[in-house]
Amino acid sequence: ELHLEIIVDRMKREFNVECNVGKPQVAYKETIKGEAEAEGKYIRQSGGRGQYGHCWLRVEPLARGKGFEFGDAIKGGIIPREYIPAIQKGVKEAAENGVLAGYPLIDFKATVYDGSYHDVDSSEAAFKIAGSMAFQSAVKKANLILLEPLMKIEVVTPEEFMGDVIGDLNSKRGQINEMSDRSNMKVIDGLVPLASMFGYATSLRSLTQGRASYSMEFDHYGEVPKNVEQEIKEARGKA
| Residue 130: closest CA among 198, 36, 56, 78 | 56
Residue 10: per-residue pLDDT: 87
CA 135/CA 132 separation, integer angstroms: 5
For the chain, 239 residues long, give each residue's pLDDT as a single digit of tens: 667 778 888 888 888 888 887 777 899 999 999 999 999 999 998 767 789 999 999 999 999 989 999 999 999 999 999 999 999 999 999 999 999 999 999 999 999 999 999 998 999 999 999 999 999 999 999 999 999 999 999 999 999 999 999 999 999 999 999 999 999 999 999 999 999 998 899 899 999 999 999 999 999 999 999 999 999 888 887 76
Three-state DSSP class for residue 30: strand
Residue 239: per-residue pLDDT: 66
In order of start, what are the domains of the chain with their CATH numbers? 34-142 (3.30.230.10), 149-235 (3.30.70.240)
Residue 56: per-residue pLDDT: 98
CA 9/CA 2 separation, integer angstroms: 11
Residue 220: per-residue pLDDT: 94
Q: What is the DSSP code string of 120-153? A: TTB-HHHHHHHHHHHHHHHHHTS-EEEEEEEEEE
Residue 35: per-residue pLDDT: 98
| Residue 220: closest CA among 149, 154, 146 | 149
Q: What is the pTM of this model?
A: 0.84
Residue 172: per-residue pLDDT: 95
Residues 33 and 145 sit within 8 Å (Cβ to Cβ): yes
177 backbone dihedrals φ, ψ, rounded to 5°: -100, -35
Residue 218: per-residue pLDDT: 94
pLDDT, one tens digit per residue, over 204-215 is 999 999 999 999
Three-state DSSP class for residue 203: helix
Residue 6: per-residue pLDDT: 80
Residue 2: per-residue pLDDT: 63
Three-state DSSP class for residue 233: helix
